[in-house]
């Protein structure tokens, strides 16, 4: 798929933000103000809420990456933002909402229907984005993957050899099939878990961490609820990428 740069702006800290399309997929790319050598790239994962809604948090993560000398990029997830609705996933989301509102446990069927098609479709798109981004001047390897839907991170870490390190957020529903894929992950992992996130299955997160095949993996659990990751945790994740991508 061809990548077309569609607009650019210089942020106040000198970071260059460029919007692009990859085929019909919107994306954003941030590069440090000044770089003498090609910058390692961090792919910024995000939940399927649309790039526009996620922009404030994405740009904050991108600025931090740029301050550490890294480029950062993200693409819209299938069925999110301005991309066409996706009936199967809309249905699974409606089923999920219904179960949560009724106070029922979320069944494995709902989780599978919600997550597995998203992983199957998003991962090749992120790989295509990698192909295109790494061919741009000023961007090199190694590549990191950070955050977002944890199952997308697990699949990418398992199948994409250009990804050298991943920071994962163990905070969303995990299909049982992903635990088997987790065993095949061997790259360094930095896993965040919000311990008191009531919408999260803590035991599943611990089981997923245990399943990873990586010899270098660490789990960092904090308080503060789903969106309350403390500043110190973001700093620690940033240092993880500095250790592994430089």
Q: Which residues bind a second copy (CB under 8 A)?
A: 195, 206, 209-210, 215-223, 230, 232-233, 235-236, 239-240, 243
Burial of 14 (0-12, 13-18, 19+ CB in 10 A): exposed
Give me the least distance between CB of 57 and a second copy, in Å please.
Answer: 20
Contact 103, 71 (CB under 8 A): no
Give me the least distance between CB of 226 and a second copy, in Å please.
Answer: 16
For a second copy, the closer CB: 127 or 236: 236
Best CA proximity match to 62, nearest among 77, 48, 45, 50: 45
For a second copy, the closer CB: 9 or 203: 203
**23 Cβ partners below 8 Å, 6+ apart?**
1, 2, 128
Give me the least distance between CB of 209 and a second copy, in Å please.
Answer: 7
For a second copy, the closer CB: 60 or 235: 235
Give me the least distance between CB of 239 and a second copy, in Å please.
Answer: 7
For a second copy, the closer CB: 20 or 240: 240
Contact 115, 86 (CB under 8 A): no
């Amino acid at each position: 798929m061809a990548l077309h740069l569609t607009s650019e702006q210089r942020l106040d800290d000198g970071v260059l933000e460029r919007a692009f399309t990859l085929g019909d997929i919107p994306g954003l790319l941030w590069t440090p103000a000044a770089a003498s050598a090609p910058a390692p790239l961090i792919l910024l994962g995000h939940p399927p809420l649309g790039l526009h809604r996620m922009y404030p948090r994405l740009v904050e993560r991108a600025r931090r990456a740029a301050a550490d000398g890294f480029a950062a990029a993200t693409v819209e997830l299938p069925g999110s933002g301005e991309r066409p609705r996706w009936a199967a996933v809309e249905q699974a989301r409606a089923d999920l909402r219904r179960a949560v509102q009724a106070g029922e446990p979320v069944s494995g069927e709902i989780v599978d229907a919600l997550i597995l098609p998203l992983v199957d479709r998003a991962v090749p798109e992120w790989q295509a984005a990698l192909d295109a981004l790494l061919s741009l001047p000023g961007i090199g390897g190694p590549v990191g993957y950070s955050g977002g839907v944890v199952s997308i991170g697990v699949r990418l870490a398992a199948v994409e050899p250009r990804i050298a390190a991943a920071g994962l957020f163990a905070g969303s529903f995990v299909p049982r099939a992903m635990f088997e894929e987790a065993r095949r992950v061997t790259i360094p992992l930095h896993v965040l878990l919000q311990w008191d996130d009531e919408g999260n299955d803590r035991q599943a997160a611990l089981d997923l961490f245990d399943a990873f095949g990586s010899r270098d993996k660490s789990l960092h659990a904090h308080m503060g609820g789903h969106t309350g990751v403390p500043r110190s945790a973001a700093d620690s994740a940033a240092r993880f990428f500095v250790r592994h991508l430089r």
